[in-house]
Amino acid sequence: MDSPPYSFHKQNNMVYLKLCLILFMGCVPDTTNLCSNQFLATPTIIPYRLDPSHITSPFQTLSLDGYLSFDNNHHTAKDFGNIYHFQPSAVLYPKSVSDISCIIKLIFEMGSGSELTVAARGHGHSLQGQAQAHRGIVISMESLKGSPKMQVHIGKLPYVDVSGGELWINILHETLKHGLAPKSWTDYLHLTVGGTLSNAGISGQAFRHGPQINNVYQLEVVTAMIAGKGDIITCSVKKNADLFYAVLGGLGQFGIITKARISLQSAPKMVKWIRVLYSDFSLFSKDQELLISSANSFDYIEGFVIINRTGLLNSWRSSFNPKDPIQASQFSSDGKTLYCLEMAKYYNPEETDVMDQRTEILLSGLQYIPSTLFTSEVSFVNFLDRVHLSERKLREKGLWDVPHPWINLLIPKSKIHEFAEEVFGNILTDNINGPILMYPVNKTKWNNNTSLVTPDEDVFYLVAFLSSVVPSSAGTDGFDKILTLNRRILQYSATANLGIKQYLPHYRTQGEWRAHFGSRWKVFLQRKSSYDPLAILAPGQRIFKKAAPIL
């Protein structure tokens, strides 16, 4: 680890003074309320400088294995969304779980008179400042990576023990050394365990295995409880089950995940990756629903919408081979909206023939446009890490660090046609400068005790509008135009009474949060008052405000 400008090792007086200072500043009422619920129209940096005249504090015995940094923390006021930018007072780079517990204990002891909050930051790939803490302390969870060292346990129910700050891509590489891999993924693997488990972790395997939060055996969590402030608690379905379920999908509200035990299965070497097109939405969704309900289906099922009024966009098939090149070359979309069903079958090289036969059988039951069958054979790692390839290309063009006003919705199966008709037929008249993902999952495979809120039906769809803003564009790929479309989609979703829930939710008022949680709000509130009664944790979610009563 590089030495930071101000590093804090045990008994460093200089830093002690600075810490005193921020803790004191944390007690000063924030009259500007910069953490307000306002949606910022343009990316903004909100600076926060310490005033050295306020040096006083009872915090003389702080002792850390890692260090606190007070300067050059701008990167923690930024996330993948690149829309909200809140400066913290300090960043903790923990080297042990006790560093995290120590900080939380200190802040807890300041009581509700202090506005100092704590945000765990995973890989900072949130979209609306969820891992930021205005004037608070950000904990850089990645510096806990490898502490403890990842440990794979083989056996009947294999699992891996990892740090909460570990990246999923590293877990993939480590578990593959044992021929194993986690069962459920996200589309992009450069995210931390703590970050995705605080939401859900949904991808094309979730129809079968549930999201990542359903594939965890045990967690270690640092809470901000009254009884044991800063306590390090191990929890599972059998032990401290309420905390276990609270933290999974809990938006960082109930504790900081420092370790996780993740279930594993045998890993294949290869993946047959298939894409087919539909111009009829009913056939597309019918086939997706058929596939997710079949016992012997594909291993991964997703899909996306291609809104294209001007001709055929070919990027959907760029690295794929057509089954029938002549037919494929004659296909034209005529400017219609198209729906791409994406499937994958895992296999090992020696099973290629059997896999091909099974795939043929599965495909023969589908009603896609025959000339649009495209396939590709890739390694398991390249398949799972596919978005990273796009990341590299976008980075080269300077298009990765642009604002990303994304919306993710969970929509009940019974309402998906109504939603598609209005949104793809009326609201969106052109592509959104990013993919629109769309695929169903089975709620029966999901555990309903976690904090995650989903629609009230056995099958629901994830629909994700993943726009990228082209800086300084005034066109359809400009910030304002995308925001206007997003507002229309969200407004329609809220008022059409379709039972839609936001995934990676973002709201402005507590009333909206109550509506989001519905009948689950009472439990969410109870858990908040049990595990973080002063509302110290994850202020960037903007559900609770520190020092305000939890109602």
Pairing of strands 137-140, 118-121: parallel
Strands across the sheet containing 90-93: 67-69, 90-93, 137-140, 118-121
Catalytic residue (choose from 85, 123, 125, 506):
125
β-partners of residue 138 are 91, 119
Return the number of the residue (251 or 277) whose C-beta is nearest ligand FAD.
251
CB 190 within 8 A of CB 123: yes
- Determine the Cα–Cα distance for residues 277 and 327; give it in Å rounded to an integer: 13
- Does the footprint of ligand FAD cover residue 129 (CB under 6 A)? no
Q: Which of residues 494-513 bind ligand FAD (CB under 6 A)?
A: 504
- Determine the Cα–Cα distance for residues 471 and 20; give it in Å rounded to an integer: 40
Return the number of the residue (298 or 368) whose C-beta is nearest ligand FAD.
298
- Does the footprint of ligand FAD cover residue 80 (CB under 6 A)? yes
Q: 115: helix, coil or strand?
A: coil
Return the number of the residue (210 or 373) whose C-beta is nearest ligand FAD.
210
Return the number of the residue (378 or 387) whose C-beta is nearest ligand FAD.
387
Using alpha carbons, select from 439, 395, 383 the residue that is nearest to residue 416: 439
- Does the footprint of ligand FAD cover residue 218 (CB under 6 A)? no
302 in active site: yes
What minimum distance in Å lies between the beta carbon of 47 and ligand FAD? Answer: 21
* Binding track, positions 160-199, relative to ligand FAD; x by CB under 6 A: ----x---------------------xxx--xx-xxx-xx
**Residue in the shown chain whose Cβ atom is closest to ligand FAD:** 194
What minimum distance in Å lies between the beta carbon of 218 and ligand FAD? Answer: 14
Give every CB contact of residue 511 below 8 A, 6+ residues apart in sequence: none
- Does the footprint of ligand FAD cover residue 215 (CB under 6 A)? no
- Does the footprint of ligand FAD cover residue 405 (CB under 6 A)? no
- Does the footprint of ligand FAD cover residue 123 (CB under 6 A)? yes
What minimum distance in Å lies between the beta carbon of 197 and ligand FAD? Answer: 7
CB 300 within 8 A of CB 204: yes
187 in active site: yes
What minimum distance in Å lies between the beta carbon of 355 and ligand FAD? Answer: 25
What minimum distance in Å lies between the beta carbon of 27 and ligand FAD? Answer: 23
Pairing of strands 159-163, 216-222: unpaired
The torsion angles phi and psi of 232, rounded to 5 degrees, stand at -100, 115
Among 76, 126, 184, 205, the residue binding ligand FAD under the rule CB under 6 A is: 126
The torsion angles phi and psi of 300, rounded to 5 degrees, stand at -150, 130
Give every CB contact of residue 454 below 8 A, 6+ residues apart in sequence: 410, 443, 446, 460, 501
What minimum distance in Å lies between the beta carbon of 533 and ligand FAD? Answer: 17
The torsion angles phi and psi of 236, rounded to 5 degrees, stand at -160, -175
DSSP per-residue codes, 202-270: --TTHHHH--GGGSEEEEEEE---TTTSS-EEEEESSSSHHHHHHHTTSTT-S-EEEEEEEEEEEPPSE
Give every CB contact of residue 332 below 8 A, 6+ residues apart in sequence: 311, 312
Q: Which part of the chain contacts ligand FAD (CB under 6 A), choosing from 120-128, 271-279, 304-312, 426-434?
A: 120-128
- Does the footprint of ligand FAD cover residue 346 (CB under 6 A)? no
Catalytic residue (choose from 30, 173, 178, 187):
187
Catalytic residue (choose from 161, 166, 299, 302):
302
Using alpha carbons, select from 137, 231, 196 the residue that is nearest to residue 537: 137
- Determine the Cα–Cα distance for residues 197 and 219; give it in Å rounded to an integer: 10
- Does the footprint of ligand FAD cover residue 546 (CB under 6 A)? no
Among 88, 124, 210, 249, the residue binding ligand FAD under the rule CB under 6 A is: 124
- Determine the Cα–Cα distance for residues 361 and 268; give it in Å rounded to an integer: 21
Q: Which part of the chain contacts ligand FAD (CB under 6 A), choosing from 24-32, 84-92, 119-127, 452-460?
A: 119-127
What minimum distance in Å lies between the beta carbon of 304 and ligand FAD? Answer: 12
- Determine the Cα–Cα distance for residues 532 and 548; give it in Å rounded to an integer: 13
Return the number of the residue (165 or 412) whose C-beta is nearest ligand FAD.
165
What minimum distance in Å lies between the beta carbon of 530 and ligand FAD? Answer: 16
Among 130, 218, 285, 372, the residue binding ligand FAD under the rule CB under 6 A is: 130
- Determine the Cα–Cα distance for residues 14 and 55; give it in Å rounded to an integer: 12
Q: Please provide the distance, in angstroms rounded to a whole number, between the alpha carbons at the two ends of the chain.
A: 43
- Does the footprint of ligand FAD cover residue 407 (CB under 6 A)? no
Count of residues binding ligand FAD (CB under 6 A)?
37
What minimum distance in Å lies between the beta carbon of 150 and ligand FAD? Answer: 15
- Does the footprint of ligand FAD cover residue 538 (CB under 6 A)? yes
516 in active site: no
**Binding stretches for ligand FAD (CB under 6 A):** 79-80, 119-126, 130-131, 141, 164, 186-188, 191-192, 194-196, 198-203, 251-252, 256-257, 387, 504, 538, 540-541
Which amino acids are annotated catalytic?
A: 125, 187, 302
